[in-house]
């Protein structure tokens, strides 16, 4: 069995085993982090000599924390009289930089351990005006010391939502993967830009091979096509609409919307709001987005799609884009992709699949069938930062036609995309993106890649408190039920014990939307949530 490193050394309830775990932790980390982890657990404090701190203070040297005879040491470094200008690249700033960053890592590791501790709160909730008064968040005209910077780091995490907490069910993006976190740290350290191979050679190649692999998984022959990582699923969906418009009317790139007929896009009434937002941003207009009816499970009804397509043509509109959803935000429904693909082919319309939530099921042997027909799509949005637990943000747009993105978006800026470089210019991916600067999102996914994505589910439900459970007046019952979820959610946040989302949908009054995508969550955590809802709503 493969070792999982430090995180596999969790102690049982025995104090001897706990102390052994701390010693192992101390050996794993430098700079005294292991000792501080032990202190967090209040382990072995009584065994420490009361004179040890005095001796350390007298010597001016702090042991490394390895708990074994060694020559390791680090200078006791205070930060009250140091500023960012004392850190690298300042002369002789290397030790100060290492010590400062070690302190930051200590803060982060403490927060990580706390995030997985079920005895801690998910949220330390304060109303905005209270939180503004609790700390001085204003930007000062004078520089702060590094001591104050560290205090700001601690304060920020103190009031942050613990999205890795096993009882956090509020959003589609939950959990914290340690390999993904390490990759994110590395990415920030490298601090480069994804627009050309010359400034991000490894990252550009990793994006190339990963996008090709994702296209293979979709089912496009030999992974051919194109794609890009973008700042979230909303932008990926907008890219798809942009490409669909350019494919049908390439002149729009230079001449604008006045040169083409009025367009019509189609999506289900349960689709993500980004489809309308993209239409607004591209000048197509939200009124040109036609919402298709869904069945009782939230799936698009193909017959209504075809009816509305024909109707739009009769009104003089030009249908150019159909967005099917693989995993709707609320119900988690999967539109019937094969039937939708048949209709798109019949009417010559671009087919996009918004798989921001459910696209990762393509990696599941058991659940892949829910996306049958996705290989017939012209483009697919896939967000690994949701079901695959890749740290935010990580969203990919995959496109079937190679070269279309470049033709649509490139502007040939000569200060970046010189045509006489010594390498294959196809690896200069920046010109096919709308952005110039582009964050490195690929390394997290590449480092975390595994053969099958984790399972997920959306569970939507009402809680009927005793006060309305037996009401016979249905209209009054629904009116009062609509107010239940907001009250319970507000109380839940004030107690800070767990978090779950709520919303109305169509003619349905407010209900709880339970999203289970956190790998740390157990059946007991789900039971805890249900019990908390019942406890907090008993008097309603």
Average pLDDT, the chain: 86
Averaged over 37-53, what is the pLDDT? 43
Q: Cα–Cα distance between 371 and 349 in angstroms, integer? A: 19
Tokens representing residue 519 in the block: 């790998």
- Domain range annotation of the chain: 10-120+127-151, 189-448, 458-537
Instruction: Note the pLDDT of residue 121.
Output: 95
Read off the pLDDT of residues 194-238 as tens digits, 9 standing for 90 and up: 999 999 999 999 999 999 999 999 999 999 999 999 999 999 999
CATH topology agreement for domains 189-448 and 458-537: no
pLDDT at 244 over 50: yes
**Calpha distance 77→86 (Å, rounded):** 12
The band of 134, judged by pLDDT with boundaries at 50, 70 and 90, is: confident
State how far the Cα of 103 lies from the Cα of 83, in Å rounded to an integer.
15
**Does domain 189-448 bear CATH number 3.40.50.2300?**
no
Cα 297 to Cα 332: distance, rounded to the nearest angstrom:
9
173 torsion bin: left (phi>0), alpha (psi -120 to 50), beta (else) = beta
What is the tens place of the pLDDT at every residue in 361-373? 998 888 899 999 9
- CA–CA separation, 2 vs 5, rounded Å? 9
Q: Is the pLDDT of residue 304 over 60?
A: yes
* Interatomic CA distance for residues 180 and 394, integer angstroms: 11
Binning pLDDT at 50, 70 and 90, where does residue 13 land?
very low
Note the pLDDT tens digit of each residue in 352-403. 999 999 999 998 888 899 999 999 999 999 999 988 889 999 999 999 999 9
Which tokens is 178 given? 């340690």
State how far the Cα of 134 lies from the Cα of 173, in Å rounded to an integer: 28
Residue 455, pLDDT > 60, answer no
- Cβ pair 531, 500 in contact under 8 A: no
The pLDDT value recorded for residue 328 is 93
CA distance 403 to 409: 10
Average pLDDT over residues 323-340: 95
Going by pLDDT thresholds of 50, 70 and 90, the confidence category of residue 506 is: confident
Q: What top-level class would CATH report for the domain 458-537?
A: alpha beta
* Predicted pLDDT at 75: 47
């Amino acid at each position: 069995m493969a070792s999982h490193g430090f995180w596999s050394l969790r102690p049982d309830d025995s104090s001897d085993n706990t102390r052994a775990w701390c010693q192992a932790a101390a050996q794993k980390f430098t700079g005294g982090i292991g000792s501080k982890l032990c202190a967090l657990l209040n382990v072995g404090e009584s065994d420490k000599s009361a004179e040890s701190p005095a001796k350390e203070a007298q010597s001016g040297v702090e042991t490394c924390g390895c708990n074994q005879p060694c020559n390791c040491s680090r200078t006791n470094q205070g930060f009250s009289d140091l500023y960012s200008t004392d850190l690298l690249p300042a002369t002789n700033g290397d030790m100060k930089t290492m010590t400062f960053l070690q302190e930051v890592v200590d803060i982060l590791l403490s927060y990580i351990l706390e995030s997985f501790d079920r005895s801690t709160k998910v949220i330390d909730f304060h109303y905005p005006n209270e939180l503004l008064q609790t700390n001085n968040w204003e930007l000062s005209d004078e520089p702060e010391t590094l001591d104050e910077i560290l205090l700001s780091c601690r304060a920020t995490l103190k009031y942050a939502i613990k999205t890795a907490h096993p009882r956090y069910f509020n959003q589609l993006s939950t959990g914290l993967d340690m390999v993904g976190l390490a990759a994110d740290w590395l990415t920030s350290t490298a601090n480069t830009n994804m627009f050309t191979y010359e400034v991000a050679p490894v990252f550009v190649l990793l994006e190339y091979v990963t996008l090709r692999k994702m296209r293979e998984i979709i089912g496009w022959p030999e992974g051919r096509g194109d794609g890009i990582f973008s700042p979230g699923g909303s932008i990926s969906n907008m890219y798809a609409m942009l490409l669909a418009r350019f494919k049908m009317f390439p002149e729009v790139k230079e001449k604008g919307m006045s040169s083409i007929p009025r367009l019509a896009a189609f999506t289900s009434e349960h689709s993500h709001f980004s489809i309308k937002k993209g239409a607004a941003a591209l000048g197509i207009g939200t009124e040109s987005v036609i919402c298709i009816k869904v069945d009782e499970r939230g799936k698009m009804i193909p017959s209504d799609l075809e009816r509305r397509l024909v109707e739009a043509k009769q009104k003089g509109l030009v249908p150019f884009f159909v967005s099917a959803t693989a995993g709707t935000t609320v119900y988690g429904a999967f539109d019937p992709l094969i039937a939708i693909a048949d209709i798109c082919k019949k009417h010559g319309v671009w087919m996009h699949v918004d798989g921001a939530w459910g696209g990762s099921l393509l990696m599941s042997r058991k659940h892949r069938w829910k996306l049958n027909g996705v290989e017939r799509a012209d483009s697919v949005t896939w967000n690994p930062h949701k079901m695959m637990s890749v740290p935010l943000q990580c969203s990919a747009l995959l496109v079937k036609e190679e070269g279309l993105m470049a033709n649509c978006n490139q502007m040939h800026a000569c200060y970046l995309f010189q045509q006489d470089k010594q390498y294959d210019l196809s690896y200069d991916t920046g010109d096919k993106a709308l952005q110039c600067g582009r964050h490195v999102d690929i390394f997290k996914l590449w480092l975390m890649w595994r053969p099958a994505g984790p399972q997920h589910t959306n569970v939507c439900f009402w809680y009927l408190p005793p006060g309305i459970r037996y009401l016979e007046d249905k209209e009054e019952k629904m009116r009062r039920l609509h107010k239940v979820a907001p009250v319970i959610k507000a109380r839940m946040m004030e107690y800070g014990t767990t978090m779950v989302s709520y919303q109305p949908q169509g003619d349905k009054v407010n209900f709880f939307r339970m999203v289970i995508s956190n790998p740390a969550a157990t059946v007991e955590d789900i039971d805890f949530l249900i019990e908390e809802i019942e406890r907090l709503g008993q008097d309603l």
